[in-house]
Amino acid sequence: MIHILDTRQLGRPGIIAATALETSDGLALFDTGPESTFGTITGELHLLGAAPADVRHVFLSHIHFDHAGAAWQFAELGATVYVHPRGARHLLDPRKLIESATRIFGAEMERLWGRVGPIPQERLRILEDNEQVQLGSVEVRAIATPGHASHHHIYHWDDCVFGGDVAGVRIGGGPAIPPFVPPELQVEDWLQSIDKIRVLEPARLYLPHFGVVENGVGAHLDALEERVRRWSQWFLEQLRAGRDPSQLVPAFADYEAADLLAGGATQEEVEDYERADPSHMAVTAALRYWPKFHPEAIGAGGV
């Protein structure tokens, strides 16, 4: 059985999920949500007749706080936390991660994400690309899938994939969009990662933001790929035209909102997309990506 646990971060449903899989080796969680919603997830587990200590395995797609923030709480209760090799040191010692997030979120840090503590070495297990973990009769395989973050894994078991952020954000009746965030956005990697999900042909694709895609995983991935290409191209054109970065934030917010509405989202859902994946982050991400990987594409002078 698989359960989608809603963190209801800041009181809003349907934005950030933790996904729970029942196995004969205890509960496995795919992402935990932020630490600020550990209590909510505890309540959701109780509704399933379980307690936080019944979570024996925590598979992290990546270490951003909305996905991994509560992992250390489960580790304190004895769970093993699985992570990409490049994410491990920040879980062992989260101080740098907290510093860089504090630069972005400032005084909002605690309200948004809660407290972040270290995970002891003995509770942490690094998974290499294609490494498998046997949980009773279920075999969970990690697949390296950079693009959104360099240290991103998806997880594959049976006919299911837990897609993390590289598999896109899809809220309510809205379309699949790529969460472009700094500092590791890499468009070519992202496209390859989408192909890696495609070849698995999953029947169900679980999204941290938000829920499950069934009957239409292929169409979801096609729509996601189209936006990875078109949105990154939109940013390139803006840079080529010499648009000022400060103008890009409202310009992209408008561009994205129009795209979401055209893709079937309601006005309220547009605001939920913004909560799950703030549009200004895409601007910062793209302003870093293009000059770093394709300075020649921007044209003489660069940025």
DSSP string computed for 211-251: EEEES-HHHHHHHHHHHHHHHHHHHHHHHHTT--HHHHHHH
Q: Give the nearer residue to Zn ion in terms of CB position, either 52 or 147.
A: 147
Contact present, 57 and 133 (Cβ < 8 Å): yes
The residue number whose beta carbon is nearest to Zn ion equals 64
Q: Give the nearer residue to Zn ion in terms of CB position, either 26 or 168.
A: 168
Q: Give the nearer residue to Zn ion in terms of CB position, either 68 or 270.
A: 68
Residues that bind Zn ion (CB under 5 A): 64, 165
Is beta strand 2-6 parallel, antiparallel or unpaired with respect to 17-23? antiparallel
The least distance separating Zn ion from the CB of residue 247, rounded to whole angstroms, comes to: 26
Q: Give the nearer residue to Zn ion in terms of CB position, either 64 or 156.
A: 64
Dihedral over Cα of 127, 130, 134, 138: its sign: positive
The least distance separating Zn ion from the CB of residue 71, rounded to whole angstroms, comes to: 14
Across the beta sheet with 153-157, what order do the strands follow? 132-135, 138-144, 153-157, 160-162, 204-207, 211-214
Overall residue count recorded for the chain in this entry: 303
The least distance separating Zn ion from the CB of residue 12, rounded to whole angstroms, comes to: 18
Q: Dihedral angle at the C-alpha atoms of 147, 170, 12, 76, nearest 10 degrees?
A: -40
The least distance separating Zn ion from the CB of residue 35, rounded to whole angstroms, comes to: 15
Contact present, 193 and 161 (Cβ < 8 Å): no
Q: Give the nearer residue to Zn ion in terms of CB position, either 118 or 182.
A: 182
Contacts of 233 (CB under 8 A, 6+ apart): none
The least distance separating Zn ion from the CB of residue 181, rounded to whole angstroms, comes to: 6
Contact present, 186 and 286 (Cβ < 8 Å): no
The least distance separating Zn ion from the CB of residue 231, rounded to whole angstroms, comes to: 16
Q: Give the nearer residue to Zn ion in terms of CB position, either 64 or 90.
A: 64
